[in-house]
Structure 1
Amino acid sequence: MTRGTGDVAIRAAEPYKYLAQVYDRWTAENQYEAWCDFVEEEWRVGPFEVREVLELCCGTGTVLQHLAGRGYSVTGLDRSPSMLERAREKLGPECPLIRAELPEVPVDGSFDAVLCVFDSMNYLCDEAHVRETMRSVSRVLKPGGTFIFDVNSLRKLRDVFGSSHYGDDLEDFAYVWRNRFEPATSCCDFLITLFARSPHGTYARYEERHRQRAYAQSHLASLARSAGFDGMVIYDDYSRRPTGPETLRETWVLTKAVEA
């Protein structure tokens, strides 16, 4: 959809349709290697060798690319065709990439481990979708396998993002990010305005609206147990530190119950 403001055309789109163009530049400071180191350490203490890995909300495939380079067989799932197109460029034609939107996980077979990194679970603003996503993961995960995901904490959505705005100019693109937190719902709305340079040297303006919800640990833990996970550890941002009042990102390690 395109709308006008004066002489400026604004293209409004679903989340990540246009961000996909600049996403890797935008997230270049993410500690992808460290995240992969963390999950590998968790997998080493499991009951079997992890080989088959599914990543939910895989985006442009950076984590999958790192894991494939370490010898894992990887599969990715994401709702955004634009992000999956970028992932395909990195991973080649042989890597299974599936377009689907959580809580659907339409894959066959079973996996040794499932990942969902970089606060993708926060996008599930309906509690029922969190519950059904965990059940979907449990369905495709081997008994004793792990589901590792991270979420932005309430403190981050409320106090860091809050009702703020900021932006930056990164030469070939610039952005303005406006946030609004709703205490009644624990949800934060993000309006992202992106100015991206075309191959012809002109700039186009795009808008995307994103929404995330913070969940109490006790709430997520209850949903995880109801989905069949009996092991549960929560860390501060891919470290071995426990979470605390200052935690901005929680890293959850869930283990699927081993059938008797």
Structure 2
Amino acid sequence: MDNKEAYTDFALVYDELMIDIPYDAYVDLISLAADGIKEKKIIDVGCGTGLLSVKLSQGGAFVTGIDLSRDMLNVAEKRANDLSLDIDFLEKPMQAIEGEEQFDVAVIAIDSLNYLPDRESVLDTFNGIHSVLKNGGVLVFDVHSTFKTDVIFMEGPFTFNNDRIAYIWNTEEGDEEHSVMSELSFFVKEDSGLYRRFDERHQQRTFHVYEYVDLLREAGFTIERIFADWEDEPPHEESERIFFQARK
């Protein structure tokens, strides 16, 4: 199963599983990097169900969200329509971004970049984003650290149960360096009170901080900030989420 197919059923439960993600903090990071978001044109890359896109739009930004999963985008479009927000959602892989210089900000949030399989795909994504950013535009993104893929993820299996959704999440080392293969069994409570099961397989990969720096520079970006775990502190050997801010 490729990553596009993997999100078919997952789209239906994604929001509940992401409830603890501090999206408001992400909006603050973007606002700080862009000197505010009001009336800024922002491309939300790997937007998923539109949780961040909606918050950016509510803050006055003009938002375009892209994702390779039509099921995710269906949820995002309904969310935006229900809130009467004018957000453009496009179905495409992030490494296929191309076009004219039009955006002030690009964001790749919550380790979406880690679904790319190799350095070439990451570079293609950075090149595409560079091409659609205005001069002076900023890219903000986060990725798993190598410590997280190599150590934390290997501590599975992980479990979750909130009475409506339960899962068993098994992980194993992937074929490539700093990659992880996840096999998830979900159990979702139906109106009848019975649980429906579906299974998914996801693969993620990350790279060392210096490799992301090299790829950003190759794409023409200047690195402005690298920090970790939602704090204004440099990464250390046990950091789990690494953030980058780069300028065109």
SS at match of 1:14: helix
Shift of 1:232: 3.5
User: Which runs of at least 4 in structure 1 moved beyond 4 Å after TM superposition?
Assistant: 106-109
| 1:72 pairs with one of 61, 80, 86 | 61
User: Equivalent residue for 2:207?
Assistant: 215
Q: For 2:176 and 2:56, locate their aligned partners in 1 and report how far apart those are by CA, in whole Å.
A: 39
SS at match of 2:8: coil
Match status 1:203 vs 2:190: no
Query: Which stretch of structure 1 is more off in the superposition, 131-140 or 81-90?
Result: 81-90
Aligned letter for 2:27?
C
Q: State the TM-score, normalized to the length of structure 2.
A: 0.91
- Say which structure is richer in helix: 2
Q: For 2:55 and 2:225, locate their aligned partners in 1 and report how far apart those are by CA, in whole Å.
A: 24
Match status 1:138 vs 2:127: no
| 1:119 pairs with one of 92, 103, 111 | 111
Aligned letter for 2:25?
A
| 2:35 pairs with one of 31, 44, 48 | 44
Q: For 2:101 and 2:208, locate their aligned partners in 1 and report how far apart those are by CA, in whole Å.
A: 32
Aligned letter for 2:104?
D
Distance 1:108 1:91, change over 3 A: farther
Q: State the TM-score, normalized to the length of structure 1.
A: 0.87
Shift of 1:99: 0.5
Q: For 2:69 and 2:99, locate their aligned partners in 1 and report how far apart those are by CA, in whole Å.
A: 17
Q: CA RMSD in A?
A: 2.1
Q: How does 1:173-252 map to 2 (within 5 A)?
A: 173-182=165-174, 185-252=177-244
User: Equivalent residue for 1:99?
Assistant: 91
Shift of 1:38: 1.6
Fraction of identical pairs, as percent: 28
Aligned letter for 2:138?
T
Q: For 1:15 and 1:136, locate their aligned partners in 2 and report how far apart those are by CA, in whole Å.
A: 24
- Kindly indicate whether the alpha-carbon contact (under 8 Å) linking 1:67 and 1:74 is maintained by their aligned counterparts in 2: yes
Q: Kindly name which structure, 1 or 2, has the bigger radius of gyration based on alpha carbons.
A: 1
Q: For 2:224 and 2:101, locate their aligned partners in 1 and report how far apart those are by CA, in whole Å.
A: 24
SS at match of 1:114: strand
User: Equivalent residue for 1:148?
Assistant: 140
Query: Which stretch of structure 1 is more off in the superposition, 106-115 or 139-148?
Result: 106-115
Q: For 1:42 and 1:235, locate their aligned partners in 2 and report how far apart those are by CA, in whole Å.
A: 13
Aligned letter for 2:17?
W
